[in-house]
Amino acid sequence: MKKKLIIANWKMSPSSLAEAEQILDSVDEYLGSLNETELSLIFCPPFVFTEEIGKLLRTSHLEHQAELGAQDVFWEDKGADTGEISGPMLRKLGVRYVIIGHSERRWKLGESDEVVNKKLKAALRNELTPIVCVGERIRDKNFKKFLKNQVFATFAGLTPDDLRKCIIAYEPVWAISSNLGAKPDTPESAIESIAVIKEKLSASPCLYGGSVNSGNVRSFLSKEEIDGVLVGGASVNKEEFVKILSVIQEII
């Protein structure tokens, strides 16, 4: 099986650095118990913990298995932009990856495809690997058309070389946050969407995200078309996250 990527999107959790450290300690302990592993992780903590998490990742078993990511970036590199964080700032903290266009930003905060596109270009300009989220809001008869349009607008103006540098996360909006009542997609229907995405982005790895847990991660990752998972809620539950990793460890 080819290498699978696991992205932990901590969103606006945990509530303290001490709790964040406990999550990393659990993962570190688990990795330390393995003779060898191909697990490949990216942690995307809230901005306020970025620097500390970066340090912890460099001083543990996580050093070889995990990279530091951020959950967003502003589209300008400098300027008078209250509340925003720039690509160069992230780079200085050792961030290598950044989530762009998460549905919670698109739909709760009104980020348009145009804004997402500008942020994507900022990430690439600053040599941050973008983890670009796409996905339909509702699974109706028009979902393929919706996805095509979203992908087209999100990646507008990028060269084939730029596209190759992106990681795609297919996250159907209706499947995100099982703790708020959502149901995960099925691997079969996720693959149908990934095929639409791959029409434009054939060279980019494509992950699935939306209510991934230790009970369903195997079914998603056993599909050749799914190159990894983006885990939200379950990635800040240390027991559940380690369980997810142990299932993945069994199948890679």
Residues that bind ligand PGA (CB under 6 A): 9, 171, 176-178, 209-212, 230-234
Q: Is residue 102 annotated as a catalytic residue, yes or no?
A: yes
How far apart are CB 167 and ligand PGA at their closest, in Å?
13
Q: Which is nearer to ligand PGA, 28 or 171 (CB)?
A: 171
Query: Exactly one of 67, 104, 111, 171 is catalytic; which is it?
Result: 171
Q: Which is nearer to ligand PGA, 186 or 202 (CB)?
A: 186
Using CB positions, name the residue nearest to ligand PGA: 232
Q: Which is nearer to ligand PGA, 11 or 121 (CB)?
A: 11
The answer to whether 100 and 130 are in contact (CB under 8 A) is: yes
Q: Which is nearer to ligand PGA, 60 or 100 (CB)?
A: 100
Query: Exactly one of 102, 104, 111, 136 is catalytic; which is it?
Result: 102
Catalytic center residues: 102, 171
